[in-house]
Amino acid sequence: MARKRIAVIGAGISGMGAIKCCLDEDLEPTCFERNDDIGGLWKFQKNPSEKRPSIYKSVTINTSKEMMCFSDFPVPDHFPNYMHNCKLMEYFRMYAKHFGLLNYIQFKTKVESVRKRPDFSISGQWDVVVETDGIQKTMVFDGILVCSGHHTDPHLPLQSFPGIEKFEGSYFHSREYKSPEDYVGKRIIVVGIGNSGVDIAVELSRVAKQVFLSTRRGSWILHRVWDNGYPMDSSFFTRFHHFLWKISTTAAINNYLEKTVNSRFNHSHYGLQPQHRLLSQHPTVSDDLPNHIISGKVQVKPNVKEFTETDAIFDDDTVEENIDVVIFATGYSFSFPFLDGLIAVTDNEVSLYKLMFPPDLEKPTLAVIGLIQPLGIILPIAELQSRWAARVFKGLSKLPSVKTMKADIAQRKTAMEKRYVKTARHTIQVDHTEYMDEIATLVGVKPNLFFLFLSDPKLAMEVFFGPCTPYQYRLQGPGKWDGARRAILTQKERIIKPLKTRITSNDNHSTSGLPWTKLVPFGLAVLATGLAYFRYIHW
């Protein structure tokens, strides 16, 4: 039988993983990328042409290298834990080169439309129209992986800001912000307290006369550098913590986390305290914001009620005069114009089975990859989704009935509404380990902890207590990678390596790892916990 041909739309982080997963399952991918390079959002462009997402020059990723990497391709040990965008591109290029992915990408090619073929109910095939240099052509594919991301359309709600049309300074969406040079000595308002808003406010406050950070709701601020200087996500996302969360309540976890972040700086004193609980909202990560607030460079303000020619009037009726620049860091929304209404998006909401498959298709030959807003890390989740989708396309994994899928979608929606603040930002949330395990179970690659505790206690300990790194999903099942065990056992070394550029006298005394004599009793204790855990999650 001929190899099935799969169209991968977009060569960003989701798309690259998708190409690789197709190759692993012996499918034949063709990737269409409108840009002239890989990396999607992460490719810095000084003058982005179309209305696409675009990053500023200094962007550094807020998830750490051991947590955000492809599951069978660790980031080199000397790379920093949090990479600047150009370092990240270097890693993506290494990945693409190592697995020979570039051969499958058609650059400067835009997907115009994806339509069912007339015999779709039998063949499950698609007509894909693409355009390169103004020339259109139509191709037939057996499957589609939509990897166009969830940051597609800049969201600029000017109608919520009366008077903005007569404001005489400049105002624009954060996608147009590139670097601070042009803002020396200015008075600036940044609207929005998401990751870009906070980053830009902090960066500008070094050169501006004054920066105001305006927020309707406030936010909990997490920091990259967590306890003992470990990366936040690698300390936070462990199976052990996930287990604690399962056996306690979300409220208790919220109490604990809020206490932790408040001990760094009291969110109420810093004007940031939101109404909602920490886990009810998408987190903002910034190590610098409190430093810039305490030194007065950034002032936190409520929502802007109205603009005049030169001033901004806030909800608390305070006025800031002579504002030069307003930057709307109001985020992005997503859409799929090329899908011809196949996936309806209303208020940033979609109905997709496991956030991937439209439930109504006669054949499951189209999946959306990376359309998630994780309390966690997108890249490994997107990669795992692709692994599952490739197996569904091949017929190795079956989707349930339409009724079951719809019930699952409804259930997910209810859970989301209960948990999160209702906004367009919180329609596609997932919890990292929870969702990873959910998809991994469908692929057949969820690590079997019970078996691990018996057969390889040293590895089991790191899997359970250590960071829940993507390598865990390469230990067994389809796509098993022989390097996974080693990658897990050496992940801590790779975290510390790039930090330790000077040897300290302590280094001579340090013992590496736990001695076996300690491991045995500890292992027994862990086994008991593991058993409880195993039982719990299989109820």
Ligand X SMILES: *[C@@H]1O[C@H](CO)[C@@H](O)[C@H](O)[C@H]1NC(C)=O
Please, which of residues 56-85 interact with ligand X by CB under 6 A?
A: 62-63
Given 262, 299, 423, 476, the residue binding ligand X (CB under 6 A): 262
**Of 47-55, 154-162, 204-212, 279-287, which segment contacts ligand X by CB under 6 A?**
279-287
Phi and psi at residue 531, to the nearest 5°:
-60, -45
Distance CA 245, CA 502 (A): 38
Which residue, 199 or 320, is less far from ligand X as judged by CB? 199
Q: Under rule CB under 6 A, how many of the chain's residues touch ligand X?
A: 15
Please, which of residues 484-503 interact with ligand X by CB under 6 A?
A: 503
Closest approach of Cβ 81 to ligand X, in Å?
13
Verify binding: residue 280, ligand X, rule CB under 6 A: no
Closest approach of Cβ 380 to ligand X, in Å?
12
The residue to which tokens 């204790």 are assigned? 525
**Of 11-19, 29-37, 201-209, 266-274, which segment contacts ligand X by CB under 6 A?**
266-274
Closest approach of Cβ 62 to ligand X, in Å?
4
Verify binding: residue 290, ligand X, rule CB under 6 A: no
Which residue's CB comes closest to ligand X? 195
Distance CA 508, CA 324 (A): 56
* Burial (CB count within 10 angstroms: exposed 0-12, middle 13-18, buried 19+), residue 66: buried
Across 148-176, b (16+ Cβ under 10 Å) vs e yields bbbbbebbbeeeebeebeebebebebbbe
Verify binding: residue 260, ligand X, rule CB under 6 A: no
Q: DSSP for 464-521?
A: HHSB--GGGGGSSSTT--TTHHHHHHTHHHHHHTTT--S--GGGGTPPPS--HHHHHH
Q: Spell out the residues 6+ positions from residue 372 whose beta carbon is closer than 8 angstroms to its own.
A: 150, 355, 378, 381, 382, 428, 429, 430, 435
Please, which of residues 410-449 interact with ligand X by CB under 6 A?
A: none
Measure the CA dihedral 146/149/151/154, to 10°.
Answer: -30
Closest approach of Cβ 394 to ligand X, in Å?
31
Given 60, 160, 266, 404, the residue binding ligand X (CB under 6 A): 266
The residue to which tokens 């008075």 are assigned? 187
Which residue, 2 or 503, is less far from ligand X as judged by CB? 503
Verify binding: residue 351, ligand X, rule CB under 6 A: no
End-to-end CA distance of the chain, in Å? 41
Distance CA 345, CA 37 (A): 28
Verify binding: residue 333, ligand X, rule CB under 6 A: no
Verify binding: residue 202, ligand X, rule CB under 6 A: no
Given 169, 218, 283, 290, the residue binding ligand X (CB under 6 A): 283
Verify binding: residue 269, ligand X, rule CB under 6 A: yes
Closest approach of Cβ 207 to ligand X, in Å?
23
Other Cβ atoms within 10 Å of 41 Cβ, number: 19
Other Cβ atoms within 10 Å of 113 Cβ, number: 17
Given 116, 282, 387, 391, the residue binding ligand X (CB under 6 A): 282
Amino acid 444 reads G
Kindly list the distances between the CA atom of residue 421 and the CA atoms of 51, 66, 219, 255, 347, in Å, as whole numbers in the listed order.
28, 30, 12, 17, 14
Verify binding: residue 194, ligand X, rule CB under 6 A: yes
Which residue, 136 or 268, is less far from ligand X as judged by CB? 268
**Of 126-134, 280-288, 334-342, 345-353, which segment contacts ligand X by CB under 6 A?**
280-288
Which residue, 211 or 285, is less far from ligand X as judged by CB? 285
Given 195, 214, 365, 427, the residue binding ligand X (CB under 6 A): 195
Q: Which one, of 428, 488, 499, lies nearest residue 464 by Cα? A: 488
Phi and psi at residue 6, to the nearest 5°:
-120, 130
Half-sphere exposure of 128 (CA within 13 A, CB side): 24
Which residue, 74 or 194, is less far from ligand X as judged by CB? 194
C-alpha 335: how far from chain center: 17
Verify binding: residue 31, ligand X, rule CB under 6 A: no
Please, which of residues 228-247 interact with ligand X by CB under 6 A?
A: 233
Verify binding: residue 508, ligand X, rule CB under 6 A: yes
Verify binding: residue 381, ligand X, rule CB under 6 A: no
Which residue, 233 or 383, is less far from ligand X as judged by CB? 233
Residues making contact with ligand X (CB under 6 A): 62-63, 194-195, 233, 262, 266, 268-269, 282-283, 285, 503, 505, 508
